Amino acid sequence: QPRVMSMASPVIADGYVYVNFLPRTVNMGGQNEVTYLAAISLDKGLPRWTTKDDPELQNVWFGSAPVVYGGRVYAAATSSGNGAPSVELIVLNADTGKIDRKVFLCEGRRAMPGWGGWMVSEAPIVAESGGVLFINTNLGALAAIQAATFEVLWMIEYEVGAPKQGPNRRWP
């Protein structure tokens, strides 16, 4: 089974560390453990909340670090179900971990291959500047969203190329 490598850094804000937890292994094309977000206290290492058992978040992939801003936790998530992958912005209350809002961003039109036994993370990435969230969906779109109102300010498409194979690499 492919191993999963997380490149997401923990985020520290207001006395808590916010992290995403990934499963130890991934069953390509099958049922997997959920990924989930958690808030852990910095002083004692005690969990404040986790999204692990939230039924609305059982089929999403949190593969990148969240952003904590204005009493909310913003996380971009990928889901695929039985079709093409899609990306949503998941907004959680920073105190409780409960969902405040889900904002659909886009849907992809391509498969996501593995590489050398490792899952190639297609995790969407979110950043904040001046109250605006910038989300690279990694499915061919970049979006700017007003954090306070969830208004999509703009979204642009970019060309998503096919995976390239180096001279010493082979795709399974």
Q: pLDDT for 37-76, tens place per residue?
A: 999 999 999 999 999 999 998 888 887 889 999 999 999 8
Q: What is the pLDDT of residue 99?
A: 97
Q: What is the pLDDT of residue 119?
A: 37
pLDDT higher at 127 or 49: 49
> Alpha-carbon Rg of the chain, whole angstroms?
16
Q: What is the pLDDT of residue 121?
A: 45
Closest by CA position to 158, among listed 108, 84, 90, 102: 108
Mean pLDDT of 151-171: 66
Q: Is 21 exposed, middle or buried (0-12, 13-18, 19+ CB in 10 A)?
A: middle
**pLDDT 10s digits, 70-109:** 999 999 888 866 567 788 899 999 999 999 999 988 887 5
d(CA 41, CA 149): 28
Contacts of 100 (CB under 8 A, 6+ apart): 72, 91, 92, 93
Q: What is the pLDDT of residue 106?
A: 85
**pTM for this prediction:** 0.78
d(CA 85, CA 34): 16
Q: What is the pLDDT of residue 169?
A: 45
